[in-house]
Structures are given as C-alpha cells and as structure tokens.
Amino acid sequence: MIVVGAGIVGLACAWWLQGRGHKVLLLDPVLSGDPPGVRDAGGEWRSGSRAALGVLMADSFHRDRGRAWDLRQRSQELWGQWRRELAQRGHPIPYRAGVLLLAADGAEAERLAALGARKRALGLPMEPWDRRRLEPLQPTLPQPSLAGLHCGRDGQLDPCTALAALAADGRQRGLSLRGEAAVALQPDQGGWRVDLAGGGAERAAWVVLAAGTTAGALLAGVSGIAGDRWTLEPVLGQALELELEAPLPTHWPGTVVWRGVNLVPRPDLEGGRRLWLGATLEPGDRADPAQLVQLRQLGGAAPEWLREAQVVRHWQGLRPRPVGQPAPLLEHPAPGLLLAAGHYRNGVLLAPASAAWVADRIEAGRHGA
C-alpha cells in the first residue's frame, strides 16, 4: 500500500501499518531533503508538521462526547503506548506532562470552572487553580491571570523528534520511503496508480492520502469522485523560539495556555532557558508581520522576562483546514482509497487515532467487511 504525505499523520499511518505486517511505501518530497510546507526565518519551506508545537490537549477539549472527543481519547492512549515502544527500541520522544489553561477575565474563569467540573465528573485529573495557587507563579505569568485549570494527562511532545523516531523505526521495520511528490491519482486494475513528479508511477491496492491540501487536489483529479466535497484551505501559523535571560522556575507547570497562545518551555535546550511561543491563526499563506508583533508581546500582556527574551528562531507553517466540515477528514472516498487529512491544529495530537482508523478500514476491507 502507499501512504502519500510524510507529515506526522502520514508517518503515523505508515509506521502503524508497517508494524501490523503490511508492506508500505511512503511518498513525500520531504524525504528527498527538499521539504515543502513550512518556512523559517531564512525563507526555507519545510514540512507542516515541523512547524507544530506538539501541545496535546485531549482531556481539556471543550466537549466530552462525540467523534472529536473519542479521537482525542484514543490518541492520548496510543501516544503513551507508542512512546514506550519507541523508547524501548532506541527512539525516545521527549515529553512533558501537564497543561495549565489560564483565564484572563471573569467569563473565561467561569468557563474553565465549568469545564473542570464536567471533566472531573468523568474521573479525569483536572485541577482548578485559584489565585492563591497561582501566586507563586505570578511574576512569570501573563497578566491578568485570574484563575487556572491544570490538566494532568495533557502535555507536550517534541514534534520533530516524533517525526524522526517514527521514520527511523519504520525503516528498521522495512518501511520504504520515496522522496517524490504525487501529482495525480487514477484507478488501475482494481487498485490505484499514483503518478509522480519525476515522471514515474507507483501502484498499490490501497492508497492513503495524508498530504494536507495536496490530498484535496489529488482527489479533485479523480474521475467520479466529488473532490470539492473535501476542500482544504490553508491557515498559516507563526511561532517563535526565545532564549530567556534566566530559566523559568522549576515549578513551572508544563505548557501554559493564555488566550489561545501556547508558552512551551524547552527544558532540554540551553539549560532550560528556551521557550516556544505560538501560534498565530492567519488565513491564507502569507504571514502578517503585525500578527507576529502581537504574538511576541502577548497583545501587550507579556511579562518583563518575556519581553526581554531574545528571538532565536521564527518559523511559520500551513495547516490544512476543511471547508464546511469538521476536522479531521477521515473518509473512504472509493474502494482502496482513504483520506486522512485536514487535521488543522491537531495533527500531532490526532495522528495515532487517525492511523488506527486507517488500519481498521484497510484490515476490514481485506477481510470483506
């Protein structure tokens, strides 16, 4: 089978399928060393997943039932399993547990209190932090911070290390990789033919499209499939890596989320003096410098230590968002053809559950279900 797209979702699908005994070819120009999809400060484009911050917000999702909730819970379970397996085989993925959601006004405080109460009723470790609990952190928190909700099972993993771990372990298991772009997709003798940018083609009984906006374009070119049903639009996000004058306190509670902005400590870099800050939400594929300024200053609420930090790196990435449908798109457009794309802001979080969905469909199809 062929998986198109070597971002976190495509790699997860390929790795999971290969581990379950399937023969898999992974296609993406990123594998040739000329990766598209993300641009850093030097103007270089890279894979979209390499622009992610890796914040895993499963329990803290605002719903507690339905498909989106089930996918998050399944992924949370699988990420724990996958990290243990990969570490045992020599591919550890750095992970830091805990996400603290902050309320900047009374309405947000009420929403967090209600969210925490609902999730605790389900037995989830969601701990309310009042002003007294936040007081030891006040010099370092954005202001105002009136209340918080600490989510003990949510956390953050390093997305680039996760990509490298899945790729390396996949190759050890026999995963084939080809660094070319897929440009067309056509039915072929009961299976599928994937035409490549270099003029060649690959054939397989099953094809999994996990290549962001490219997946929608490939579907649109297949006769008999209403490709416009799965339209994906780009949404740009900018992020910063900062070097702090002094490390954050040792009791800093993992990732902190304030008004939708993530502050992600990097304890493994420069003695704990590095921090990721992001990300913006901008329509289209052109970065807005004013949005970056707002991000850097937290809309005027950045504490002094954050204002004085030095920018080490600035990068931006495109996220594929489904038009008129909820994210992600997990669809079966035709026999032997699966779509796993449009994860928008949750590609890293939902990659394992998406891979499990793909494997279930393929294995059910092979057994005539």
pLDDT tens figures, 59-97 = 999 999 999 999 999 999 999 999 999 999 999 999 999
pLDDT at residue number 40: 41
pLDDT tens figures, 232-288 = 999 999 999 999 999 988 889 999 999 999 999 997 777 789 999 998 999 988 999
- Structurally, at CATH architecture level, domain 96-154+234-320 sits in 2-Layer Sandwich (3.30)
pLDDT tens figures, 154-176 = 999 999 999 999 999 999 999 99
Topology given in CATH for the domain delimited by 2-54+161-231+323-366: FAD/NAD(P)-binding domain (3.50.50)
Q: Which residue has the tokens 């998050």?
A: 72
pLDDT at residue number 336: 97
For the chain, give every domain's residue range.
2-54+161-231+323-366, 96-154+234-320
Mean pLDDT to the nearest integer, 324-338: 96
Q: How far is CA 33 from CA 6, 28, 41, 52, 206, in A?
A: 12, 10, 18, 19, 26
pLDDT at residue number 366: 65
pLDDT at residue number 43: 39
pLDDT at residue number 249: 86
pLDDT bracket for residue 112 (50, 70, 90): very high
Query: Is the pLDDT higher at 47 or at 310?
Result: 310
**Residue 193: CA atoms inside 13 Å, Cβ hemisphere, count?**
8
pLDDT at residue number 30: 85
pLDDT at residue number 323: 92
Closest CA to 343 of 232, 262, 259, 264: 232
d(CA 362, CA 357): 9
2-54+161-231+323-366 matches 96-154+234-320 in fold: no
50-64, 141-155, 265-279, 335-349: least confident range: 265-279
